[in-house]
Amino acid sequence: MTLSEPPLLPAERRERLLADLRVRGTLRVSDIARSLGVTAVTVRRDIAQLADEGAIERVHGGIRLPRQAGPTPSPTFAVTLDEDAGPTTDDSALATVGMVVPSLDYYWPAIVQGARDAAPDAGLRIVLRGSSYDDVADVRRQVTWLLESVGVQGLLIAPPTVGAEAAELMTWLTGLDIPVVLVERTATAGPYHEHVESVTTDHAFGASLAVRYLAGEGHQRIGFFASATSPHTPKVRLGWRETSIELGLDLDGTPDIISPDHRHPQWSEEVDRAIDAFVATGTTALLVHSDREAISLVARCEERGIRVPGDLAVVAYDDEVAGLANPALSAVRPAKFTIGETAVQLLAQRMQAGPDRPVHRVRVSPRLVVRDSSAPR
């Protein structure tokens, strides 16, 4: 399968396998995988399904078409199962694409895993580079290395998107002669502010889920506390605020706090000031972005004798480590694996279809996981 061809549907792929089997007589799993642009695991799965459907019969050393009634049996066609090789993929059949992410130890590993798992079936091989949330020069350096040293044919990237330097970076990225898909970022480029292809979590909807849940538990004053360093904070805050207004919740004086992250030298002072505000305003529930800030805040509440969830219900946003806290934190969980998987599929489709394909912007909904840190008022 060449990059100019659309990916085969599973049924089309199995029909192609049968046709090749009839013509060539003997096939290797690795040969089929290379021909179809899929993994050996996918080929074995297709063989198993064809056998289950009765389209082929398994015999020692291979498979054959079903025996026909009458004096002349169907011939046996062997597929060498490559048992010694295992379920590996021949990278020579795959197009190489780059992936640049701002973190390799929080939030992003699941996205990278989703992309890696989806890549072989999309005919792609991923070369990963770690970068920074806000260092435009480093992001550009990583992309340049992928272009010049690896020769990537497509790019998945989560670049900075705020500020003049970020805008210049986006202009440069969209001017490359390879397809680019933004991951957990959105942006526009060019004189007409055209959208750049992207796959993102609907973070505003995720915050809305948390607010609706807490309001349903009887909380009328739901505060907001988030790290200023997260690029997702504006969307999470927007969802919190709009849903609170829609539900008629009391926002007059309700704490709406954007703080440094938990590693900042002034973090302890900021947390104490925030807790003072929650107590002073009668806030009974809180949406906190992200997990690490939520865990640190809950620990400080307990040190001050404020019970979670008895005095203050808490929902975290990210669900990376929220379930490991004590108490285990209720959390909004973005579908990170699906984000990576979808980004790969979108990039592969763009590479196959070319520039005439309309720009796609995909938003994936997160879900709410209820644990011990939230309770009815």
- Top pLDDT among 233 and 18 is at 233
Q: Does a structural domain hold residue 376? A: no
> 105 in the Ramachandran plot: left (φ > 0), alpha (ψ -120 to 50) or beta?
alpha
Q: CA 29, CA 79: separation in Å to the nearest integer?
A: 7
Closest by Cα among 300, 293, 338, 335 to 316:
293
Domain with 71 in it: 10-80
| Sequence-distant (≥ 6) Cβ neighbours of residue 245 within 8 angstroms | 251
Q: Is 166 in the same domain as 208?
A: no
Domain end, chosen from 23, 48, 80, is at: 80
Let me know the angle formed at the C-alpha of 183 by 179 and 185, rounded to the nearest 5 degrees. 110
Q: Is 347 in the same domain as 321?
A: no
Q: What is the pLDDT of residues 299-349, one digit of tens each?
A: 999 999 999 999 999 999 999 999 999 999 999 999 999 999 999 999 999
CB atoms closer than 10 angstroms to residue 134: 17
Q: Does a structural domain hold residue 369? A: no
Q: CA 331, CA 322: separation in Å to the nearest integer?
A: 7
Q: What is the pLDDT of residues 7-24, one digit of tens each?
A: 677 777 888 888 777 766
> Any idea which residue has 């520039």 for tokens?
355
CB atoms closer than 10 angstroms to residue 70: 6
Q: Is 214 in the same domain as 143?
A: no
35-59 burial string, b = 16+ CB within 10 Å, else e?
Answer: bbbbbbbbbbebbeebeeeebbeee
Q: What are phi and psi of 362, to 5 degrees?
A: -105, 130
Per-residue confidence (pLDDT) for residue 38, from 0 to 100 = 79
Q: Does a structural domain hold residue 86? A: no
Q: What is the pLDDT of residues 178-204, one digit of tens each?
A: 999 999 999 999 899 999 999 999 999
Q: Does a structural domain hold residue 377? A: no
Domain CATH code at residue 317: 3.40.50.2300
Q: Is 223 in the same domain as 272?
A: yes
Which of 46-55, 187-196, 234-243, 317-326 is predicted with the least confidence, judged by mean pLDDT? 46-55
Query: Count of domains in the chain?
Result: 3
Domain end, chosen from 80, 102, 137, is at: 80
Domain end, chosen from 80, 105, 123, is at: 80
Domain CATH code at residue 74: 1.10.10
Q: Is 197 in the same domain as 344?
A: yes
CB atoms closer than 10 angstroms to residue 148: 9
Q: What is the pLDDT of residues 350-368, one digit of tens each?
A: 999 988 899 999 999 999 9
CB atoms closer than 10 angstroms to residue 276: 12
Q: Is 211 in the same domain as 318?
A: yes
Q: Is 120 in the same domain as 184?
A: yes
Q: Is 326 in the same domain as 212?
A: yes
Q: CA 352, CA 6: separation in Å to the nearest integer?
A: 6
| Amino acid, res. 194 | E
Q: Is 274 in the same domain as 324?
A: yes
Q: CA 17, CA 202: separation in Å to the nearest integer?
A: 39
Q: What are phi and psi of 108, to 5 degrees?
A: -80, -25
Q: Does a structural domain hold residue 3? A: no
Q: Does a structural domain hold residue 374? A: no
Per-residue confidence (pLDDT) for residue 195, from 0 to 100 = 96
Q: Does a structural domain hold residue 2? A: no
Q: Is 185 in the same domain as 249?
A: no
Q: At what angle do helices 40-53 and 10-24 cross, to 10 degrees?
A: 80
pLDDT surpasses 90 at 67: no
Q: Is 119 in the same domain as 234?
A: no
Q: Does a structural domain hold residue 76? A: yes
Q: Is 187 in the same domain as 237?
A: no
DSSP calls for 79-139: EE--TTT-S---GGGSEEEEEEES-SSSSHHHHHHHHHHHTGGGTEEEEEEE--SS-HHHH
- Alpha helices of the chain — where are they, by DSSP H? 10-24, 29-36, 40-53, 108-118, 136-145, 164-174, 203-216, 233-246, 267-281, 291-303, 336-353
Per-residue confidence (pLDDT) for residue 174, from 0 to 100 = 96
